[in-house]
Amino acid sequence: MNNLITLAKDNYEKTLYHEAIINAFFEFTKARDFYREICGNDKMRSDLIKLFLEYQALIISPVCPHIAEQVWSITGKQTLIVNESWPATDVADPLILDTAEFFKKTIHAFRLRLDELTNPKKKKIAPINPTKATIIYSSKYPEWQQEILILLKKIYEENNGEFIDNKEITKMIMAVPIVKPKAKEAMPFVQFIKDKVGQRGIQALDLIFNIDQRKVFEEMIEYLKGALKIDDIVIESVEETADQTLASKVVPGTPIVNFS
């Protein structure tokens, strides 16, 4: 919520009202829905939901004053929302934001993979209803990506926190022998990392993935079982798994699930 409140305020101040509404209403509501999905209706904190309603009423009030006023009164407020100040919030923790985004993308990918097995598009392939899922994750980037990260960090530090033109970066990374065979993947990876640097700063250039993936999966294991309708889940690092063929396809932040 803190992050979306800040984004909405920035967009209002820039008169980017369309983007502000996306932050204040659509993304704010999605955040609540994700919280409900993770917790289940019976485990949601009533105080947090009340705070959500108050915050959303406040941040949509510049463009939807009548609706905001109605919601404000429903929460039990005796004042007029038009006289209230913008919510005061702490700066959102970038690691928490990254972890939430990582988990949302991961569970979406797992569901797609499960759907491929249970509802195969090719009629000749028999559907499978797995009972076990093995999640394989990696905390370290492959060597060729590490070389790119080292080079990008050097460029970033030497240019006072800025990156040089992509054409120049391409020339530099293609001169690295281990990167050359990965030419098609190199620049998409560079852009991915540059975007992350824009969001999180120089720590996005660390060689080790900043999220404790095993901890996330262990804490969310009961949710994963329910969401995927699986009885058993095994969590393995690329170093632990016996399936090294599958492990070779895993990169930090993009775990692979094997259903059986």
Q: 21-30, 116-125, 205-214: which has the minimum mean pLDDT?
A: 116-125
What are the domain boundaries of the chain? 2-83, 94-140+210-259, 143-205
pLDDT at 39: 86
Residue 206: band (very low, low, confident or very high) from pLDDT cuts 50, 70, 90: confident
Residue 197: band (very low, low, confident or very high) from pLDDT cuts 50, 70, 90: confident
Alpha helices in the chain (DSSP H): 2-13, 17-21, 28-39, 46-60, 65-74, 94-118, 143-158, 166-174, 183-200, 213-219, 221-228, 244-247
pLDDT at 64: 93
pLDDT, tens only, 46-97: 999 999 999 999 999 999 999 999 999 999 999 999 999 999 999 988 889 8
Domain 94-140+210-259: give its CATH code: 3.30.2320.20
> Strand 132-137 to strand 232-237: parallel, antiparallel, or no bridges (unpaired)?
parallel
Which token pair is 219?
């804490």
